[in-house]
Structure 1
Amino acid sequence: MDAAVESTAESGSVLGKTRLILEAFGLDDEDLGLSELARRTGLAKASVHRLSQELVRWGFLERRHGKYRLGMRLFEIGQRVPRQRILRDLARPFMEDLLQATGQTVHLAVADGLEVLYLEKVSGHRQVSRPSRVAGRMPLHCTATGKALLAFGPGGLFEEVVAAPLARTTPRTTVAPGLLEQELKRARDLGYAVEYEQARIGYMSVAVPLAGATGATVAALSVTGPVAPARTERFAGLLNTAGRQVTGLLSVRDV
């Protein structure tokens, strides 16, 4: 079954329709009305209404002022995901140390498909414009965490990423496969990945890989702040120290 047929078949099932409703909510959405949910899902308004009422009863959605929002039950279940919980709990103290040492935002991320998925973030009072969010996503090829995951992860992941045209997030984003491959080789030589203004103009990131019990890369840890190339090696040194400590703890945990 090809992807298009499979997607159509899935959306025709009750579970498929439920998934479409829950995934219709973006990070910036608080409340969505019935008509907007129907538009985003492509489902009949009557089906959306019936399923949404069930989701409200289960606590997966909440209803407020005639509109729907994601419910706390989803948050509760999400906190039980083993990989997210183990990685976050082990890395969080070291992320706080990095925040204290650098004064910059620290991210913990994993690869999910062809994107970076942020599991945790610590930052000070001064936020960057268009700030990242826990559970937010970015393309693998334009972030330092993504480059670390590509450089030190399975070789097949790079081939998947460059199989389609690379999206240009900023004017400085690397979109040529050959140049991206060179950046990943340099990251492997240095032991860390760097990006300057490829994800957000005015900001840079440095990231290191985190390995699990088998030695395979399972996540990446980064520091993000205003562009200042002179601080790259300092950030890398601090990240490498934290990364070794987190990897040591992960080596005895199954993630």
Structure 2
Amino acid sequence: MSRTPTGESSLARAVRVLDAFTADRPTLRVSEIARRSGLHVATASRIVGQLVDEGMLARGPDGSVRVGMRLWELASRAAPTRTFRDAAMPFLEDLHAVVGHHAQLAVREGEEVLFVERLSARDAVVNFSRIAGRLPLHLSSSGVVLLAYGPPDVRERVLARPLEAATPATITSPERLRSVLAQVRQQGYALLPGHVHEDATGIAVPVRNGLGEVVAALSVIVPNDDRAASAVPVLLATARGIGRALPGPDGPAGPATSRSG
């Protein structure tokens, strides 16, 4: 594999180009790709051209670049969450029918929450998460559940850095977040009114595999009113159903799993 004078491989630079694309910015100009990847424009342009030739990226009529169909195909074929999603979907659909708003599944990926599925309704309350989208762990009910049951070293790293706010209700105090995480482990769910948007309440519960490990979070986003807490029992029941339906004890995201405490 060829390497640059700095020792970085061609593959590593290609990954940097692909990492420039996000759920919020699925289409980019080459100059933006260069800036986001930290590569020289000429280098980024050459790598983009190679990835376009292989179908990993695609160019629009205006010269903009987006993720190509071949990359999507390969990712869908090899996705580690695919079996988990297939097992969970019947339960997620039933949950969505009951709450009438957003129902979603998420896993921990490093120090972020990654949403692997979401069902919504046309008139549902506002929700900023999306499939294949990420949020900081402290910023959503799913992330708070995954942080509560996650490895202690991850928890300490998150607590040690500044916690960004989306609304005045967002938890930005490490001391308060630590207290909320302990409460989540005690009561078995997170309920965060107005945490990401003033009009919405996020409620999440852990999904456990056959070994009792938390492998994912199941959540709903409902209106921020007195009825929000009524979703907790159906969420807990749905999570138990998903756990029983999982095909094996390993769960969807090996390194992100944690034994419940």
TM-score (norm 2): 0.87
Q: Using a 3 Å threshold, how does the CA distance of structure 1 residues 157 and 40 change in structure 2: closer, same or farther?
A: closer
Query: Does the 8 Å contact 1:151/1:185 carry over to 2?
Result: yes
- Report whether the alignment pairs 1:190 with 2:187: yes
1:246 aligns with 2:216: no
Question: Which residue does 1:71 correspond to in 2?
Answer: 68
RMSD: 2.1
Is 1:135 aligned with 2:132? yes
**Partner residue in 1 for 2:255:** none
- Contact residue 145 and residue 221 of structure 1 kept, 8 A: yes
Quickly say closer, same or farther: Cα 1:230–1:158, change in 2 above 3 A: same
- Report SS of the residue matched to 1:200: coil
Q: Kindly indicate whether residue 204 of structure 2 is the aligned counterpart of residue 171 of structure 1.
A: no
Q: Does 1:26 align with 2:26?
A: no
Q: State the 1:253 CA deviation.
A: 4.8
Q: How far apart in 1 are the matches of 2:56 and 2:246?
A: 32
- Give, in angstroms, the shift of residue 148 of structure 1: 1.1
How many pairs align? 247
Instruction: Kindly provide the CA deviation profile for residues 62-116 of structure 1, in whole angstroms up to 9, marking residues without a partner as x.
Output: 1122221110112112213353102211111111101111101001001111111
**Deviation at residue 211 of structure 1 after TM alignment:** 1.2
Q: 1:162 to 1:30 in 2, by over 3 A?
A: closer
Q: 1:107 aligns with which of 97, 104, 107?
A: 104
Higher relative contact order (CA 8 A, sep 6+): 2
SS of alignment partner, residue 81 of structure 2: helix
Structure 1 position 97 matched with structure 2 position 94:
yes
Q: Which amino acid aligns with 2:141?
A: A
- Structure 2 residue ranges without an equivalent (≥5): 252-261
Q: Which has the higher helix share?
A: 1
Where in structure 1 are there 5+ consecutive unaligned residues? 1-7
Answer with 87-96 or 122-131: which moved more: 122-131
Q: Which residue of structure 2 aligns with residue 122 of structure 1? A: 119
Q: Note if 1:152 corresponds to 2:131.
A: no
- Cα-to-partner distance string for 1:203-235 (whole Å, 9 max, x where unaligned): 101111011233211100001011023331x21
Q: TM-score normalised to the size of structure 1?
A: 0.89
Identity %: 38
1:94-146 Cα deviation digits (max 9, x unpaired)? 11101111101001001111111100000111244464210111111121111
Q: CA deviation at 1:50?
A: 1.6
Kindly state the Cα deviation for residue 199 of structure 1 after the two structures are TM-superposed.
Answer: 1.5
The change in CA–CA distance for 1:230 and 1:9 in structure 2 (over 3 A counts) is farther
